[in-house]
Amino acid sequence: MTGDIKELTLLIFPTSPAIINDVKLSTIRILKKNKISVSQIIMEKSFFSIYTKKTIKALRILSSCLGIKKIEIAYSTSNETSSIVNKIVNVGQKIIMNEKFFIKVFSENPNFIARDLEFIATGLLIEKLASKSSIPSHNESSANKIIKSYIGKSQSYIGIKSVEGIGGMTFGYLKKKVFIIVYDQYSIYCLKNITLRGFIPDILILFWDYEDLKKKLFSIHTILNNINNKKIKLQLLQLNSIISKTKVIKNNFLLDIVVIDICSYINKLIDVVLPFNLFVHPLWLIEYSINSCIQKGKIPWFPYLFEENLTINLDQNFKFLNSSFDSAKGNFINFKEEKNRIRKTSTELKKNIKIFYVQIKSLNIRPNYIDNILNSI
């Protein structure tokens, strides 16, 4: 293996070919930020290859970057039929043992026909693996091991390990800021959703106490850690100063009303994210949120309004806020006085918002900025 290190490369597959240049620039920035030098980048139609001496470290970092669908560690070789076939066979001998195998070639080069290369390489590999009880499979679905090869403009690549990326668009691809309040598990889901879609989130965290804030910061960090940006702005507001936790526990929608009012009355951005879902939240609450925002000239975004199947395992971080709604509109009317009281305190509320500019570092499980924020509360 040591003799092959110079041939190792990372193949980066963007979520869409349309953002390949944006992903390339984002990749260069994040690797530079982590002090990983790149000796060469080769652009292909649907992917690009990166050569670096720190291949495994680069793979670990890039696997959590926005805009990347898949990353493959591969051996590179020249664009000659004999070189491509020999490299496929060599890799196959190393990784196949008593298994059904399938060779899949993707060609972006008109000078090479993928099916011909698959046929030649399969025949040679059958001969080489005769003593290992390995046989070819008729299709990918029935194979135990699949060797994927990619033929580019000037180089070819034989994959040895594939890692799924988180997909989405690169951070800020849409160049549009949206205001989002993080206060329960659904709002965390929305934060992840809009980040993947290429929006720039302007985040306000609502919290009850020190422990509640700490748990929310850790949940948010798992999303922010995927953002390739020097600084992120976080705004914090303690709920105890404006609303009673007892009332919220008994009437969960009251906190949602507070969120709607902050989005429509207090925040300056036009685009606001509301974490409501038709299968979880009452229809009257959703209608109220739309009307409130529109009346104040805001554009409401509902990232998962129609999604029926949600996989959110964040209950331990938001134990005070769950999805069991007392959804009768009459209860909302009964709390109208409380709602108006909160709205009247909007000036005071703004003064209580604390702002932090934090540095996000890749793969930092216990980031310093969380401790700094907690120590200042």
pLDDT at 252: 65
pLDDT at 7: 83
pLDDT at 376: 80
Sequence-distant (6+) residues with CB within 8 A of 178 are 194, 199, 200, 201, 202, 269, 271, 272, 273, 301
Contacts 24+ apart (CB under 8 A), 15-24: 15/67, 15/68, 15/69, 15/165, 15/167, 15/168, 15/169, 17/45, 17/46, 19/67, 19/169, 19/170, 19/173, 20/46, 20/47, 20/48, 22/67, 22/170, 22/173, 23/48, 23/67, 23/68, 23/170, 24/48
Query: What domains does the chain contain, in order, with CATH numbers?
Result: 2-164 (3.30.2130.30), 177-376 (3.40.50.620)
pLDDT at 241: 73
Question: How confident is the prediction along the chain (377 residues), in pLDDT tens digits per residue?
Answer: 334 445 899 999 999 999 999 999 999 988 988 899 999 999 999 999 999 999 999 999 899 889 999 999 999 999 999 999 999 999 999 989 888 999 999 999 999 999 999 999 999 999 988 877 889 998 889 999 999 999 999 999 999 999 999 999 998 899 999 999 999 888 999 999 999 999 999 999 999 888 999 999 988 888 887 776 667 889 999 988 777 666 665 556 778 888 998 999 888 999 999 999 888 888 888 999 999 999 999 999 999 898 876 654 444 454 434 444 455 565 566 566 666 766 666 667 778 889 988 876 654 556 677 878 888 87
Contact 167, 131 (CB under 8 A): no
pLDDT at 137: 92
Task: State the pTM of this model.
Answer: 0.80
pLDDT at 227: 75
* Tokens of residue 375, six digits: 């120590």
Find tokens 């899949």 and name the residue. Answer: 104
pLDDT at 370: 82
The residue length of the chain stands at 377
Rg over alpha carbons for the chain, rounded to the nearest Å, is: 26
